[in-house]
Chains A and B, each alone.
Chain A
Amino acid sequence: MNRSPFHPSTFGSLFAAVCLSLAGCKPADTGGTSKDAGSGTGSGANPGKIRVGEYASLTGSEAAFGQSSHKGTQLAFEEINKSGGVLGRQIEHLVEDTQSKQGESATISKKFISRDKIVALLGEVASGRSLEAAPTCQAAGIPMISPSSTNPKVTEMGDYIFRVCFTDPFQGRLLSEFARKTLKAQRVAILSDTASAYSVGLAKFFKDPFMAGGGQIVLEQKYSSKDKDFKAQLTAIKAVNPDAICVPGYYTEAGLIVAQARQLGILVPIFGGDGWEAPQLIEIAGGKALENTYYSTHYSSENSDPLVQAFVAAFKARFNGETPDAMAALGYDSAKVLIDAIKRAGSTEGPKLRDAIAATKDFPCITGRTTLDASRNASKAAVILTVKDNKFKYVETVSP
């Protein structure tokens, strides 16, 4: 008897809260459309600003990625606006935060398209969230460029969806070669995140070529995002005594995993993909635990290419001396590829813009010369980094 009134009343209050928040949206909505009337997307007749949307995980567990990527994109648009814009029009850069949550991206992309009338969408870093927004863009005929979602499914969502980074099958193949040739590992254990499309995909794309090349996967263990304790899985891994451990996850968990592995006396090399790329990795794990760990990523700020060095200098000048990481470089590249396509298309209409992006060839990006192939993926080189003395260090470059 005591319990029965509990459920209806919570649902009642939840319902009330939902109604309130919906009611709160309405007036803002109408305000938005009336403002839109002035600028619009313009079919050439209206010389207003070109509106480009960006959705990123500015807060939450992948915030380091979203923040970096956003800064890169911001820098690219500021540069182009300073030099007079594109097609004689300035770019208006609209940003929304996905809070690293599932479900936000779809809502944000709908809002961008129906209310803000954007001409193109940039984002997200995490593959799972890019997959949420892609169907909306595809249906509306608005091109979307993901800076760094590496899961192959993202661009398979339709012919309006592009990316400027390499894909997980490439990254997995590269990691398997690195494990076999450089680390001389034959028996590898995998610890992957079942709650992220990125991690599940990368684990598979590492495993297949590694086993085809004669390697052995001795144990596969799983965790799920936001877990903090991995000692149980790591103890099981320690018992089978692998030559190396593959952790294809994001930095928050990877940092804790590396620290706990070293505490358990597991000293073998641990390696992962570009999900490790964040300064927080070192803060969480501690520099000492990260010795003998490796990850593949899109670029190294130590690259001596003048284009890269100019970007690093501009980024440092704009963001208080911060060194741009791979996510920042890709965020910058995604904006640059879009601007270049708008220039070549001479228009911001969806189909024309899509064709122009698809025709991107040998475009000089910070992360290497970029050509978009028939399946709208970029083919480009990758680098392997390690950690020495609390700093990320360049190990080698691998071409596709």
Chain B
Amino acid sequence: MIEFLQQLINGISLGAIYALIALGYTMVYGVLRFINFAHSDVFMLGAFVGYYAVKKLGVPVGGLAGGLLVLCLAMSICAIVGILIERLAYRPLRSRPTLSVLITAIGVSLLLQNLGQSVFGANPKAFPRLFPETNLHLGQLSITSNQLLVIAVSLVLLAGLHFIVHRTKTGTAMRALSFNATASSLVGINNDRIISFTFGLGSALAGAGGILYAMNYPSIDPLMGTMPGLKAFVAAVLGGVGSLPGAALGGLLIGLIETFVAGTGWSTYRDAVAFAILILILLLRPAGLLGKSRSDKV
């Protein structure tokens, strides 16, 4: 029983990170109807911004303020990078078939990975400790303050996103754009501005995800985004790509499934199970678990 509860905690904290990345995938998909494969590399960039902020700029860490500063810095730099990627790589292809944009996204992803290897170096680096860390023990169960932080930040960002999408003017515009881009520009919405905003927001989430991931698994390298990015993609599809609660649910499920598969001695099949789920979902329920109702889409 203790073991089961401990695995549940492990699974939820892993799932929270996948959920955070999946939110970014799903938001961009909701508005533009294409998967931004460079998302997982913006995630990597977030972790490296954190690393260099501490190592080169000397942001003091170990306290709450320093850690939050690094988190905000990573989010804002990633937002800028996301907006730049959209403007330089995707906007010129806006009128082309989605396929061209998709292939460009793969190109941008490879560009960022290889640029990362030549600029940051291909060696794994040890990520500094940003926040004060403690292990909390409840009887035989244990959870680290980092795991709690990840879950908390994911919940806050999910609520914030929900608020932005459903309660603000920009959010209304995002939803209008996702229904019909021509009609939304006819009623006076600046589509370019809204798309830039969506990319900025999605990339900021990726940046936050990168920092949180690196805090839990403090060894970072330029290819670190690939695996979590793929898992988050599976999570987004599982939950129903385009649906915000779906992405969160999908992330959580993937995290839990992986943890329980690995914990029962089948650890080598962990990734295989995650991708088998993707295939099953695409065959049986292409819209995903929560992706059915259109009005839920961003």
Contact = CB atoms under 8 A, between A and B. Distances in A.
A10 B103 contact: yes
Interface residues of B, number: 43
A86 B161 CA distance: 70
Nearest to A67: B123
B103 A231 contact: no
Contacts of A284: 124, 126, 218-219
A252 B260 contact: no
B10 A235 contact: yes
Interface stretch (B1-9, B82-90, B242-250): B1-9
Nearest to A99: B122
Contact of B103 (A9, A232, A264): A9
B62 interface: no
A255 interface: yes
A262 B144 CA distance: 10
A63 B52 CA distance: 20
Which of A99, A232, A263 has the largest number of chain B CB atoms within 10 A?
Answer: A232
A2 interface: yes
A236 B7 CA distance: 8
Contacts, number: 105
Interface string A1-28: 0100110011001000000000000000
Contacts of A229: 10, 14, 216-217, 258-259
Given A6-B102, A231-B259, A233-B262, A252 B142 contact: no
B268 A194 contact: yes
Interface residues of A, number: 41
Contacts of B119: none
A212 interface: no
Interface in B208-260: 213, 216-219, 221, 224, 227, 258-260
B135 A231 contact: no
A238 B9 CA distance: 15
Nearest to A255: B219
Nearest to B255: A229
Given A6-B102, A59-B121, A60-B122, A236 B217 contact: no
B95 interface: no
Interface in A241-298: 252, 255-256, 259, 262-265, 280, 283-284, 286
A280 B126 contact: yes
Contacts of A9: 99, 103
A323 B98 CA distance: 55
B137 interface: yes
B124 A61 contact: yes
Interface of A: 2, 5-6, 9-10, 13, 59-61, 63-64, 99-100, 194, 220-224, 226, 228-229, 231-233, 235-236, 238-239, 252, 255-256, 259, 262-265, 280, 283-284, 286
